[in-house]
Structure 1
Amino acid sequence: MHPSLIKAKIFATLALLILTFSFTLPMIAFHGTLNKIDAGKADEISSFSKTIWNLYNQGRYKSVTTLKEAHNNLEKMIESASEIGVASLPIWAVSLEAPNYPKEAFPQGIPVYFHFDGYSGEVHEMNTINHYVGMDPMWVGGHFERAIGIYALLFLSLGIILFIAYDKKYLNYIMLIPAALPLIFIADYSYWLYWFGHNLHDWGAFKIKPFMPTVFGDGKIAQFTTHSYPTIGFYMLVAVSLLSILAFFAKQKAFKEIEAEK
């Protein structure tokens, strides 16, 4: 086998592994779990789902209202009616700071983490703040993305497997999709920030003009200081992207050199 083909398969395999263990596996394991919790059907949650959630939530932020003994234990989180986020790696982190949220009570401000399939962090408190300025709760946005996310990743994983298994030129272009994942996420995230900031309601206790929330960096909304930065999941997406680009060009190089030898 041509050396560049071997490299392409190695790069693609690494991209697939990162994608699987960072997002696809925890999304599959936790799929529908929050709906069961909301419906009072916690007894229907599989032990596999609980194990995956417990594993992926090690060291993650938990709401300040969560009992410490319930951290990283889904059963105890449910029993204590704690705020439960999804299992997949968080991609982007946003936090708000304000005088009415003292550092002693909220050392990290009001943080919320955005995932492919939902949210984690102080989601309830953030929605309360959004209501204060006339903004919709977060779950209003991204319905379509959250609904198709798991299926899109499974389809993408299948495409990468086909790229690894078969040396067809047209399959090479499949790798451009995972290569674009960081840009796709930022574009979608930015769109929804714009939508929320430009679709304010009159119910807000504090009236502000339509605005564009900060996508990256620090900003100011009313009396709140905002911080918006990528987190571990985004860096995993960047790794998937770079490996996919390397796989694409390695196979392109192999095809050209094989044709030149004929």
Structure 2
Amino acid sequence: MNQSLIKSKIFAGIAFLIMTLSFTFPMISFHGVLNKIDAGQQEEISSFQKMVWGIYNQGRYKSTTTPKDAHNNLDKMITSSSEIGVASLPIWSCSLEAPNYPKEAFPEGIPVFFHFDGFSGEVHEMNTINHYIGMDPMWRGGILEREIGIYALLFLSLIMVYFIAYNHKVLNYLMLIPTSLPLLFIADYSYWLYWFGHNLHDWGAFKIKPFMPTVFGDGKVAQFTTHSYPSIGFYCLVFIGIFSLLALLSRVKATKESDVR
């Protein structure tokens, strides 16, 4: 078999594995769990779902109000009414610092984390701050993206599997989608930041002009200092993009080599 063709399959397989472990598997495994918690149907949550959540939440941010013995234990998180985020890897993080949130009590400020299928971190507190300046709660943004996230990733997984199994020109074009995942996320994230910053309401106790929140780096909103940086999930997207691109380039090279022969 052509060496370039073999490389394309290996690179695509690595991209598929990263995407599966980082996003697809935890999203499918944890799907619907938060709805069950909100509905008081904790008994319907399987032990497998609890295990997956516990594994993927190792080392994640936990609110200062969350009892330490509840960390990584979904049952205890529910019992203590702690804020529970989704299981998939966080892609981007945003945090706020303000005088009324002292470092002693909030060493990491008020952080929230954005995932393909939801949020984690101090979501309730962030929504309270957003309300203070007349901004919509976080759930108003990316509703469609969160709804179709699982299906989109399954579609990309199918593309990669077919790319590995078959050699067809159409699949080469489709591999451009996972290659561009980091850029697609940043574009969507930037759009929603713009939407939130330019659709302020009169209910805010503190009136500010429409603004563009900081996409990357440090910024200032009213008396709040903001920090917006990629999280571990974004770096996984970058690796998925790199290996998908390597797979595509290797496949193109293999096609050219076979044409020469």
- Matched with 1:243 is 243
Q: Secondary structure at the match of 1:21?
A: helix
Q: Which residue of the partner structure matches residue 3 of structure 2?
A: 3
Equivalent residue, structure 1, for 2:180: 180
Q: What is the deviation of 1:174?
A: 1.7
Q: Which residue of 1 aligns with 2:92?
A: 92
Q: Which runs of 5+ in 2 are unaligned?
A: none
Structure 2 partner of 1:48: 48
Secondary structure at the aligned position of 2:205 is classed as coil
Q: How far apart are the structure 1 equivalents of 2:13 and 2:61?
A: 31
1:18 & 1:109 partners in 2: Cα distance? 30
C-alpha root-mean-square deviation of aligned residues, in Å?
0.5
User: 2:122 is matched by which residue type in structure 1?
Assistant: E
**Offset of residue 64 of structure 1:** 1.2
TM-score, length basis structure 2: 0.99
Task: Quote how far apart the aligned CAs of 1:169 are.
Answer: 1.7
What runs of 5+ residues in structure 1 fail to find an aligned partner? none
Kindly report which structure 2 residues correspond to 1:216-235, keeping only aligned pairs within 5 A, or say none.
Answer: 216-235=216-235
List, as ranges, runs of 4+ consecutive aligned residues in structure 1 with deviation greater than 3 Å: none
Helix, strand or coil for the counterpart of 2:95?
strand
Q: What's 1:13 paired with? A: 13
Once residues 187 and 169 of structure 1 are traced to their aligned partners in structure 2, the CA distance between those partners, rounded to angstroms, is: 27
Q: Secondary structure at the residue paired with 1:200?
A: coil
Residues in 2 aligned to 1:137 and 1:63: alpha-carbon distance in whole angstroms:
19
Query: Deviations 1:74-109 (Å, cap 9, x if unpaired)?
Result: 111011111000000000010000000000000000
- Per the TM alignment, residue 171 of structure 1 is displaced from its structure 2 partner at its CA by 1.3
Q: Deviations over 1:34-65 (max 9, x none)?
A: 00000000100111111100000001001111
Separation of aligned partners in 2, 1:231 and 1:142: 18
The equivalent of 1:157 in structure 2 is 157
Amino acid paired to 2:204? G
Matches within 5 A, 1:107-126: 107-126=107-126
**TM-score where L is the length of structure 1:** 0.99
Q: Which residue of 2 aligns with 1:205?
A: 205
CA offset digits 1:213-246 (Å, max 9, x no partner): 0000000000000000001000000000000000
Residues 180-236 of structure 1: per-residue CA shift (max 9 Å, x gap)? 000000000000000000000000000000000000000000000000000100000
Q: Percent identity?
A: 75
